[in-house]
Structure 1
Amino acid sequence: MWRQGGHLVAWMLLCVVVQAQSLQLSGFHIEAVSTQPNLLRNASFEEVSAEGIPAGWSWSPRNTDATLRVVADRARTGNRSLFITNSTPFGAHVYGMAVYQLPLPLQVGKRYTLSAYVHSPRPGIAWLGGGGGWQFRMRLPASPHGWRRVQMTFTPGEGDVPFTLLLITESPTDGIWLDDIQLVEGEEATPFAEEGRAPAPQVEPLREQVEVQGDGAFAVPFLVAIPQGAQVELVAALRQGDQQVAAYSQRASLEAGFHRVTVRGEASEAGSPPYWLTLEVRGETVRAMGETEMRFYSRAGALRLLEELRTRLPGYEQTVAQLEREGKPTQWARVSLTVLQNFVRYVQEDLDYKVTTPEGGETYPEVRRALMQLEELREVEAHLQEEIRRPSASVSLWRCRGNRPLVANGSLTDEEGNPLFFTGYGHFGQVRADIEKFPAYGVNLIQIETGPSALFPAEGMVNDAPIRELQQVLERAERA
């Protein structure tokens, strides 16, 4: 509380909520993973032609200034990768094209999976694929922080064989690095392994981002590669920012090759801000680490945060009302308070919305959106607190009192020639319901309408009910 103008004014600090969360890592599940023969040769681009392009490929920039060459400045495996640039604007039939020249014995009706590792902050429009009419296209996504594996499973038809693999760039990019292309039979990509070479020590998350819906058990898979059998220590750690919140370690005996190591854990009311899960393999001859981003979406945690916010609102209302009685500017505080008072209901609706699963259970699909809204409301609450401490000067708002704004020199003005600015919403059902709330939001314009079909539902029929309803809305707006 503080004393101002002879009055005690109550205000509430933005609470730093201590979440009643629980996060634990509880164990590992380890299983060996086999590889499939790669139908592509020179898939890691270690063999280079005299022109500087990968052996077994052809390259044509066509009607672009795109370039393609093998480089040694970065590689996921081996010593080289493929690098592509392009500064030609996107246009119809404008692209640079690389073609895999060796025959691919794909069979009609059989499932195949194409995959590749990509590294690029801004790849533009680029893809790997082929088939009749180039119907199979695997977009190369942005991956600014490191190598990212993408994959596409497809079934060639009669018009897709013989299959020709293409690499296409269609729009500007500062650079795309590509490595370890794989084409295998089956429904999913298998670990990339160069023929005749032992894999380098590596830990790779199998999901770039993991989202855990609800409370309870969770499992996060990693792919671990080691060149030779070894006794190792597996160390998993979960952190938020620089703070470690959970850890688990275990000794294990791993054979040479590839292993799927799944980190298991339990979550209860965990917050939605990003966490990072790392898995490290430590041994005398092997050491590697990988990490993935995690987010937890807990309905129980969201309900608790919402209730805490709801209990703070009456205090805010009393404080803002006291400031108004003292003649202090509260325009911006009132806007923030109005948002909080109304959006707690919308968040509650999202948290209560449930869907019955085919198995007869229940799921809450809008928890993620509710938590995102709660994060935004936290920022609104911080703004309200700042306005209570140091109120901002009010601005002049036009309010309709039966007079119409004037149009002068292409602008809306008041009677004194001052410009008028309008802010508002389009035609949604909630707009009509919220008419009385809009002045506190700072809204002075809405767009609602009645269509001809509502007035004339059939030949020779007139329905004036929409007109009466519109009139009632306008009368409510005038009173507000």
Structure 2
Amino acid sequence: TVYTLSCYVRSADPGRAWIGGSERWRIRFHFKPTGNKWMRIVGTFKTNPTERNFHLMILTESPTSGIWIDDVQLEEGDKVTAFQMPIKLKSGDVRIVVERAHVNPNLVPNSSFEEVHGNRPHHWMWDRRNTDATMTVDETIARSGKRSIKLTNGTPFGAHVYGWFGLVGSIPVKPNTAYTVSCYVRTEGAGIAWIGGGKRWRIRAMFPRVTTGGRWVRVWKSFVTEPDEKTFALMIVTESPTKGIWIDDVKFEEGDRPTPYVPDFEKPHPSLELELPPPKSVEHRGILFMPIWKPERYPIHEHVFAGEQVWLEGLLYLPERLGRAQLRVLIERTDTGEVVKRAMHEYDFDAGAYDVEIGWGCADADLARYRIRAWLEPVASKEGANVTATGQRKNILASAQLEFYLYSRRTVLAQIEKVRRMLAQLDDAIAKLQRRGEDTSYPQVTASIVRDFIGYALEDVNYGEVGRAWDAGVVMERLLRDELVQIENVLKGKA
């Protein structure tokens, strides 16, 4: 994949200095003398087939009177664009961003399983192998068209134990090229199951292990083909027990991200999708990592450790020109029904696809389950034209919504403060035990551990590890509560 790296430099004598990185520091774009003016240094490079991360660095290797550097930007493509400052939202702000996107062709035949031969979709094959797994064509549940496939599995997980549903033949691909595989899944718990394949079955987009709540969720994975890879074997695999996984609208496309699924068996209609993207990587002590903490306890599509802001990503597809229309957003609490925020973005919509981003500054939000709804409606010809007499919206062209538990920075700091107060209670209780001549070794160890972890949790919050900080606060609260109960029993002569 091709990327462009740029930065602005000001230096009368930069000496030998450069910006770059990558494996073996092979990418180097050298600085030049600029006098008192800012000059943009721009370089384009291509990643290696096995390269998944880029280690960015700026090095000075000889004497210099001084180098000023600003506005570093790394972007995909062979052209440099204007530098964009990261959007930082104030608490309570909502930002809606709409940009034109491209719809890539789908390389999968019968991708929505509408054409059926016998008991299986045409172009697809099922093999339960060494399991009791089943595959059925379900005509009662579908995301598009009239059908989806349903997989069940009652066989425990084991080595080389799986049910296999795959495309007959292979999909032609180009070597060293980015592709994305995706599908829509609905399940009450998929167990271990995935879509993917390729050489050595190395590409696996995992299905949600927890319920999707009756919603269709798009799962996807992007990858780069190997230098000698010319075909891709596409498959869906179930490896552990599940009561049911419904799958529809499979797409395999060139490119490093999914684009809208457009049915080829029916007239397309306007559609809007929203998803919670994976959290962005954070750096702590020189290590770059994904801030995902205990996903089995806090599934990432159900629990959002946002800290100060949360961003939703979406895809809007319009089969024909719409003209001026409004994309509206409503944020509300599901427990009380309280409307937290409303926002609207008006745009001149042509036919085609659009990337949608919705950002919410939530640093001061309470811990609660929130619903974010978005819908597209025409510009009202007069006040109230898009609202019924009972206050309901009408003339909605496309809509989507997401629900999740939100953990803001304030929520996590409040939990840590609660732990700090409980620690003070434990210190007082330990003092009472000491005055009575009781052994305080165990409670003192607990107090020492909690005291250290309060500092660690605060450090995590500052570095974006909000999930780990919250979970540490919950664990510390439980430790302190148990210790306080034990001491109370001792003081009352019950232990």
User: Common fold, TM-score beyond 0.5?
Assistant: yes
1:167 match? 236
Partners of 1:340 and 1:377 within 8 A in 2: no
Q: TM-score, normalised by structure 1?
A: 0.62
- Candidates 245, 248, 259, aligned match of 1:179: 248
Partners of 1:306 and 1:344 within 8 A in 2: no
Deviations 1:243-299 (A, max 9, x none): 53621222534445543332233233555x45424123153142523114364453x
1:35 offset after TM fit, Å? 0.9
Amino acid corresponding to residue 241 of structure 2 in structure 1: P
Partners of 2:446 and 2:480 within 8 A in 1: no
Q: Distance in 1 between matches of 2:162 and 2:422?
A: 58
Partners of 2:430 and 2:443 within 8 A in 1: no
| Number of aligned positions between the proteins | 360
2:397 match? 286
Alignment of 1:102-117 (within 5 A): 104-117=171-184
2:475 match? 376
2:200 match? 133
1:144 offset after TM fit, Å? 1.1
From the superposition, tell whether residues 381 and 70 of structure 1 become closer, same or farther in structure 2 (CA, over 3 Å): same
SS of residue in 1 equivalent to 2:172 = coil
1:111 offset after TM fit, Å? 1.8
The structure that is helix-richer by fraction is 1
Q: Distance in 2 between matches of 1:102 and 1:301?
A: 52
The structure that is strand-richer by fraction is 2
2:458 match? 351
Partners of 1:277 and 1:294 within 8 A in 2: no
Alignment of 1:31-430 (within 5 A): 31-49=99-117, 51-101=118-168, 104-145=171-212, 146-157=215-226, 160-195=229-264, 197-207=267-277, 208=301, 211=304, 214-215=307-308, 218-225=310-317, 229=322, 231-232=325-326, 234-239=328-333, 241-242=335-336, 244=338, 246-250=340-344, 252-253=346-347, 254-270=349-365, 273=367, 275-281=369-375, 283=377, 284-286=395-397, 288-293=399-404, 295-296=406-407, 298=409, 302=412, 306-307=416-417, 309-310=419-420, 313-314=423-424, 317-318=427-428, 339=446, 342-352=449-459, 364-379=463-478
Amino acid corresponding to residue 48 of structure 1 in structure 2: V
Partners of 1:127 and 1:137 within 8 A in 2: yes
From the superposition, tell whether residues 112 and 289 of structure 1 become closer, same or farther in structure 2 (CA, over 3 Å): closer
Percent identity over the alignment is: 27
1:26 match? 94
Q: Distance in 2 between matches of 1:285 and 1:214?
A: 32
SS of residue in 1 equivalent to 2:232 = coil
Partners of 1:297 and 1:368 within 8 A in 2: no
Amino acid corresponding to residue 347 of structure 1 in structure 2: I
Amino acid corresponding to residue 278 of structure 1 in structure 2: I
Deviations 1:334-390 (A, max 9, x none): 977974564033221342479xxxxxxxx6255432332223344556667777998
Q: Distance in 2 between matches of 1:46 and 1:337?
A: 66
From the superposition, tell whether residues 45 and 159 of structure 1 become closer, same or farther in structure 2 (CA, over 3 Å): same
Partners of 2:191 and 2:241 within 8 A in 1: yes
1:48 offset after TM fit, Å? 1.1
SS of residue in 1 equivalent to 2:116 = coil
From the superposition, tell whether residues 274 and 184 of structure 1 become closer, same or farther in structure 2 (CA, over 3 Å): farther
Partners of 2:185 and 2:246 within 8 A in 1: yes
1:30 offset after TM fit, Å? 1.6
Q: Distance in 2 between matches of 1:314 and 1:94?
A: 53
1:174 offset after TM fit, Å? 1.9
SS of residue in 1 equivalent to 2:208 = coil
Amino acid corresponding to residue 275 of structure 2 in structure 1: P
Higher alpha-carbon Rg:
1
Q: Distance in 1 between matches of 2:126 and 2:421?
A: 66
Q: Distance in 2 between matches of 1:41 and 1:157?
A: 23
SS of residue in 2 equivalent to 1:374 = helix
Q: Distance in 2 between matches of 1:310 and 1:162?
A: 58
Q: Distance in 2 between matches of 1:313 and 1:93?
A: 50
Q: Distance in 2 between matches of 1:117 and 1:394?
A: 60
Amino acid corresponding to residue 344 of structure 2 in structure 1: Q
Unaligned runs of 5+ in 1: 1-21, 355-362, 397-480
Partners of 1:199 and 1:257 within 8 A in 2: no
Partners of 1:235 and 1:250 within 8 A in 2: yes
